[in-house]
């Protein structure tokens, strides 16, 4: 910001010779900003969504295979289109975009990219209006919380909880940040409240990281004999039926016996291991 003939004017940060909202500034916007916006912010998510949609069956199959889900979670018929080489190639190229999501929400990474892009755009376009910036970001996060709560797109319940807590933390941080702008009487309360939420989020993130580390390092001991196996299966099946009311299907895997749960209320399939 500068003054010219007693009037307030704005100059481009990277080039102080260019005055904002003039013909030179608009020329830069249309030559650089608009193409980048169309190519990166809108084009890449749209391209990724189109690729995933065109390979829906393969993506759902790869998710089920990687997550250990059964065919009933897919709502699709096998065999899938394409050869095993094509499936493996697609998995290597695009699994980064759908790994960890449920088969019905293999495209959810596009939603997350869109949310982050909208928050970034609000931060840039409303940089001169901190209050409006906080309000717009809070609205985006509120819509994201609602969408995530309805979909619960991750295969792991802890991942759904972590994402939900992250969104709530960001929402309250932006909301309390808006209260610190100007001479608001709530500023003295908002600052420590924001720090408290930030500290709580960091502690929760560390606990989730510890849980992931424990799950990765935990080893499942194979059963000693078939008698103990049958006994363990029986006990686990009874406990599962009492707790979930779902149908139970036993399956033999290389690490021992497992129980697949197929609750009627959700599409997620979980695997409980019998030690």
- Based on the fold, state whether residues 186 and 236 are members of the same structural domain: no
CB atoms within 10 A of CB 18: 15
E strand intervals along 128-255: 247-253
Q: How many domains does the chain have?
A: 2
Last residue of a domain, one of 218, 238, 264: 218
Q: What is the mean pLDDT of residues 81-105?
A: 86
- Based on the fold, state whether residues 160 and 202 are members of the same structural domain: yes
Helix axes 56-67, 44-54, angle to 10 degrees: 80
Residue 238 inside a domain? The answer is: yes
What is the reported pLDDT for 70? 57
Last residue of a domain, one of 218, 239, 261: 218
Specify the higher pLDDT residue, 107 or 219: 107
68: helix, coil or strand?
coil
Q: 82 pLDDT band (50/70/90 cuts)?
A: low
Residue 89 inside a domain? The answer is: no
- Give me 200's structure tokens: 């709580």
- Based on the fold, state whether residues 242 and 258 are members of the same structural domain: yes
Residue 208 inside a domain? The answer is: yes
- Based on the fold, state whether residues 150 and 169 are members of the same structural domain: yes
Does residue 140 contact residue 118 with C-beta atoms inside 8 Å? yes
- Based on the fold, state whether residues 208 and 232 are members of the same structural domain: no
What is the reported pLDDT for 233? 47
Q: What is the mean pLDDT of residues 74-83?
A: 56
Last residue of a domain, one of 178, 194, 218: 218
> How many secondary structure helices (H) and strands (E) does the chain include?
10, 7
Residue 102 inside a domain? The answer is: no
- Based on the fold, state whether residues 205 and 133 are members of the same structural domain: yes
What is the reported pLDDT for 4? 57
Q: What is the mean pLDDT of residues 239-247?
A: 45
pLDDT tens digits, residue range 17-46? Answer: 888 888 888 888 888 888 888 888 889 899
Phi, psi of 265 (to 5 degrees): -85, -15
- Based on the fold, state whether residues 246 and 211 are members of the same structural domain: no
Residue 47 inside a domain? The answer is: no
Lowest mean pLDDT across 5-9, 54-58, 99-103, 260-264: 260-264
Lowest mean pLDDT across 23-27, 65-69, 101-105, 166-170: 65-69
Residue 20 inside a domain? The answer is: no
Residue 148 inside a domain? The answer is: yes
Q: 221 pLDDT band (50/70/90 cuts)?
A: very low
Q: What is the mean pLDDT of residues 191-206?
A: 87
Residue 193 inside a domain? The answer is: yes
Does residue 64 contact residue 74 with C-beta atoms inside 8 Å? yes
- Based on the fold, state whether residues 252 and 187 are members of the same structural domain: no
* CA–CA distance, 168 with 153 (Å, rounded to integer): 17
- Based on the fold, state whether residues 163 and 210 are members of the same structural domain: yes
Q: Provide the whole-model pTM.
A: 0.67
Lowest mean pLDDT across 51-55, 65-69, 94-98, 124-128: 65-69
Domain containing residue 242 = 226-273
- Based on the fold, state whether residues 259 and 236 are members of the same structural domain: yes
**Which are the contacts of 10, defined by CB distance < 8 A and separation ≥ 6?**
1, 2, 19, 20, 21
Q: pLDDT > 70: what percent of the chain? A: 71
- Give me 116's structure tokens: 């982050």
pLDDT tens digits, residue range 130-170? Answer: 888 888 999 999 999 999 999 999 988 989 999 999 999 99
Mean pLDDT, the chain, integer: 75
What is the reported pLDDT for 174? 85
């Amino acid at each position: 910001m500068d003054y010219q003939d007693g009037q307030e004017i704005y100059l481009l940060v990277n080039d102080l010779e260019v005055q904002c909202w003039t013909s030179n500034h608009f020329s830069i916007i249309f030559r650089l900003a608009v193409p980048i916006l169309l190519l990166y912010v809108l084009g890449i998510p749209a391209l990724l969504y189109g690729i995933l949609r065109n390979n829906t069956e393969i993506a759902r199959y790869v998710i089920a295979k990687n997550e250990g889900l059964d065919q009933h979670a897919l709502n699709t018929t096998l065999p899938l289109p394409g050869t095993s080489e094509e499936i493996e190639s697609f998995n290597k190229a695009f699994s980064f975009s759908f790994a960890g999501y449920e088969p019905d929400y293999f495209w959810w990474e596009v939603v997350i990219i869109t949310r982050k892009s909208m928050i970034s755009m609000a931060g840039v376009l409303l940089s001169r209006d901190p209050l409006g910036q906080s309000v717009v970001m809070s609205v985006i996060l509120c819509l994201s919380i609602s969408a995530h709560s309805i979909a619960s797109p991750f295969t792991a319940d802890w991942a759904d909880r972590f994402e939900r807590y992250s969104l709530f933390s960001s929402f309250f941080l932006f909301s309390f940040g808006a209260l610190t702008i100007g001479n608001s009487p709530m500023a003295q309360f908002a600052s420590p409240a924001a720090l408290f939420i930030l500290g709580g989020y960091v502690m929760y993130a560390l606990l989730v990281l510890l849980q992931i580390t424990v799950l990765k390092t935990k080893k499942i001991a194979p059963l000693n004999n078939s008698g103990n196996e049958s006994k363990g299966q029986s006990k686990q099946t009874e406990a599962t039926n009492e707790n979930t009311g779902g149908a139970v299907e036993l399956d033999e895997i290389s690490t021992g016996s497992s129980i697949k749960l197929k609750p009627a209320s959700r599409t997620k399939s979980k695997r409980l291991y019998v030690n």
